[in-house]
Chains A and B, each alone.
Chain A
Amino acid sequence: MIPPPFSYQRVSSADEALQLAAEYGEDAKFLAGGHSLLPLMKLRLAQPEVLIDLGPLRELSYLRAEDGHVAIGALTRHHDVQHSELLASSVPLLAHAAGQVGDPQVRHRGTIGGSLVHADPASDLPAVILALDGVLVARGPSGTRQIAAAEFFQGLFETVLEPAELLTEIRVPVPAAGQAGWSFQKFTKRAIDWAIVGVAVQGGSVALVNMASTPVRATAVEQALASGASPAEAGALAADGTSPGEDINATAAYRAHLARVLVTRALQEATPRPDPPEDHR
């Protein structure tokens, strides 16, 4: 319930954050919304000695239309992503998915950057960013780099980021006209739960939540679609190349079955439509 003692450092600029991160190395973690990290610390499953609070860096909270993509500051809260007019018109999948994260209180604090860096394969946004072929922009001691979503997630709670690297921006390509169809299927026992299995579809891209130790693209499905398969035919391949886990909510076989059902439904739903679904607003 109570984290072990640690040192709290509040910064007023990204530079300062990077400086401190370089100084403390592996002993420190960045604190964004805190709704992935603090729960782990309260259970003493994570025990960083230093927390670098990025909270004051409001300049890292933004949603901007740029050339062919939407640039989202890493510290943009889920609530703002969910209600962004810009995303509603250009990348509704992301806005909708952000509205599925946690509950309203969590969405008031949690950030898109925090969620992606936490890299829980059962979280909603990593798979969505993967389906959207997003690009993650990170700043570190050796400068800034851009990382494709497909390379970003390395393993369970693991990304390619170095400890001293700060995720600053997520660039989400605006889907081309023919790829505008989208769907997000999140299967839970209770609405508040993490997905037992989830599916994000954008055009011909299909990514899966909680079917492996990272979010994964359902490449067999995508290839089938590209060859003209129907949603049901392509959906039947949803579990190929995945390694779903077993827990109190699902066996691996059940997850594989759900993936097939949900991918099929997602593909059926992702026909181009004029308006986003009601529950996104």
Chain B
Amino acid sequence: MTVNGAEASGEVEDRLLLVHFLREVAGLTATNVGCDTSSCGACTVLLDGESVKSCTVLAAQADGHQLVTAEGLAGPDGELHPVQRAFRAEHGLQCGFCTPGMVLAAVSLLRENPHPSEAEVRAGLEGNLCRCTGYHNIVRAVLAAAGQGAAPGQGAAPGQEAAAGQEAAAGQGAAAGQETVEPGAMAEPGGAA
């Protein structure tokens, strides 16, 4: 099979799962195993461009196909893929274990639905569990990658239109006068923002 553009092959047991082929034979450990029941999505990769759970595919089934893992998303010079960039900008990862699968699920989602609503993003990620982020910033990241900003609680949730004060927005993105900075930008401390 082709993984991230390069040939990957091996003599393996018939029962070897694709996720173990990627991790043990192809030596690509970004794709993770998080469960036994195809529930968590940590093993998500792209197979012929579509997100699949590699724990529920035999390596043999993937023979002859094209795979993309998280390691294959960045550009040749290490430049982050737009979805990866958005995850960083929006703090869409904490421990990082669900992230490779989550990012690839998002890539596949945006390919099929380039301008999703918040509800469509949440539904589109129903097969990916995260325990750290509460999904809030993951959703923001996917919407940002799609070129849309996210307002808190898009859509009419009860009482939101009538909510007094704009402070609810303060917790969401940049507070007034504050931008989110890259650590490197502080190379001249005191000079930024």
Contact = CB atoms under 8 A, between A and B. Distances in A.
A105 B105 contact: yes
A163 interface: no
A10 B126 contact: no
A164 B58 CA distance: 22
B108 A43 contact: no
B131 interface: no
Contacts of B6: none
Given A79-B50, A102-B127, A4 B57 contact: no
Contact of B61 (A7, A31, A104, A108): A31
Q: How large is the interface on B (under 10, 10 to 19, 20 to 34, 35 or more residues)?
A: 20 to 34
A5 interface: yes
Contact of A5 (B14, B55, B58): B14
A1 B127 contact: no
Contacts of A106: 38, 53, 56, 127
A11 B60 CA distance: 12
Nearest to B13: A5
Interface in B12-45: 13-15, 17, 36-39, 41, 44
Interface in A163-194: 190-192
A102 B128 CA distance: 12
Interface in A1-56: 1-8, 10, 31, 34-35, 38-39, 42-43, 51, 53, 55
Contacts of A51: 14, 58
A160 to B, nearest CB: 27
Contact of B52 (A5, A8, A109): A109
Contact of A104 (B58, B60, B63, B124): B124
Contacts of A105: 41, 44, 51-53, 105, 108, 127
Nearest to B51: A105
Interface in B71-108: 105, 108
B15 A108 contact: no
Nearest to B20: A2
A85 interface: no
Contact of A7 (B14, B50, B128): B14
B-side interface mostly? mixed
Contacts of A42: 17, 36-37, 55
A108 B50 contact: yes
A192 B61 CA distance: 25
B127 A39 contact: no
Interface in B106-135: 108-109, 123-124, 126-128
Nearest to B122: A191
Given A6-B15, A106-B127, A34 B36 contact: no
| A-B pairs, 8 with minimum CB distance | A103-B127, A8-B14, A108-B50, A1-B36, A105-B53, A8-B60, A192-B126, A103-B126
Interface of A: 1-8, 10, 31, 34-35, 38-39, 42-43, 51, 53, 55, 79, 102-106, 108-109, 190-192, 279
29 contacts: A3-B15, A6-B14, A8-B14, A8-B58, A34-B56, A34-B58, A34-B61, A35-B38, A38-B38, A38-B56, A38-B58, A39-B37, A42-B37, A42-B55, A43-B36, A43-B37, A55-B61, A79-B50, A102-B127, A104-B105, A104-B108, A104-B126, A104-B127, A105-B44, A106-B56, A108-B52, A108-B108, A109-B57, A190-B126
Interface of B: 13-15, 17, 36-39, 41, 44, 47, 50-53, 55-58, 60-61, 63, 105, 108-109, 123-124, 126-128
